[in-house]
Amino acid sequence: MVGRLAALQIRPATSSDLPALRRLYGMVDREHAEFEPSLKRGRSPTERDRRLLAALGEVTTRLTVVAQGVDVLAFALASFHRDRPDVVIEAIVVEPSARRRGHGRALIDDVQHWMVGRRGRFLELAVYDFNADALGFYESLGFISFSRSLRRSRPIG
């Protein structure tokens, strides 16, 4: 099959996907830190690994990948809010070379179907204000702003 690409799959993540998920998480962490250096102090790789491993076995969590053959191009991590029947999308990451090809939309659709099948009400997510591409993408899918987080640096002196 020279010259033909393997078909895309949207499927639940497996433990064999962990190296790709780590790579994608690291990539997005670096992108975010370019805009906001304080974000370099986010989750450690060990904490992230624990979260990903736990997500593989949790009934209230959905960890989905978009794969082409053995290559993971994107993933979504979502889970039910602990106090209400809403689903929080913790992360959606798409490989830069695979962006604007419908992978993010497919992941949102997958999470939405998973949520509806479990009687969830709303999808929620957080996105940094500096991430204009992501904001535009989510708004194009019907997400609206309903809460805002504000912060200020520690006063000097």
DSSP for 13-59, written as a single string: --GGGHHHHHHHHHHHHHHHHHH-GGGGGS--HHHHHHHHHHHHH-T
Domain 8-140 has CATH 3.40.630.30: yes
- Per-residue model confidence (pLDDT) at position 1: 43
Is 32 exposed, middle or buried, given 0-12, 13-18 or 19+ CB atoms closer than 10 A? Answer: middle
Is 124 exposed, middle or buried, given 0-12, 13-18 or 19+ CB atoms closer than 10 A? Answer: middle
Name which of 36-40, 68-72, 107-111, 141-145 the model is least confident about.
36-40
Q: Is 42 a residue whose pLDDT tops 70?
A: no
- Per-residue model confidence (pLDDT) at position 72: 96
Mean pLDDT, to the nearest integer, of 6-28?
A: 90
